Amino acid sequence: MEREEALKIVKEQLTEHRYQHTLGVVETAIQLAEKYGADVVKAEMAAIFHDYAKFRSKEEMKEIIKEQGFPHDLLEFNGELWHAPVGAYLVEKEAGITDREILDAIRFHTSGRINMTLLDKVVYLADYIEPGRHFPGVDEVREIAKESLDKALIKAIQNTILFLMKKNQTVYPDTFHTYNDLVQKLE
């Protein structure tokens, strides 16, 4: 699928604000893919579609998680996590994207996973540091991203965990598993 066709499909699913965020993720993902040697075309596609399911109803997402046998513990944690696996499913079903690496980068763009692929990492980090993001600590992560993809990812996940904990929110175990895995593998 061409970039323009993909963008048109996604635009219909998103608010203008979320679409602008998506364009930021696309540009950042391309830059990171070029810098760190990921597949640029796949990074672009995964970025375009990463938040495809963001505005589906909680009811629809819950049904898909149950009926597709996605990890049931997702339902016990923050509903913000659901659009990632549900998005991977709907992007395949509705937009006809079948590439496993692209679908996985979408599936794991919120929680991460153990053994993240280069493409997973690029999309995760691009989502966090795209130019439209303004949360505390994001500039530090942008700086680290110039030196190390893994170190930037670790800092982004730390920030996310601390942010959730300060608000007395739960943290999905996979978020911790991703963090631990990246730290353990860091030289």
Report the amino acid identity of residue 187.
E
Nearer to ligand DGI, 37 or 79 (CB): 79
Binding positions for ligand DGI, 89-148, rule CB under 6 A: 109-111, 127
To the nearest whole angstrom, how small is the minimum distance from the Cβ of residue 34 to ligand DGI?
22
Question: Which string of x and - marks every residue 142-171 that binds Fe ion (by CB under 5 A)?
Answer: ------------------------------
23 binds ligand DGI (CB under 6 A): no
Site for ligand DGI in 43-82 (CB under 6 A): 51, 54, 78, 80-81
Positions touching ligand DGI (CB under 6 A) are: 51, 54, 78, 80-81, 84, 109-111, 127, 160, 164, 171-172, 175
Positions touching Fe ion (CB under 5 A) are: 51, 127
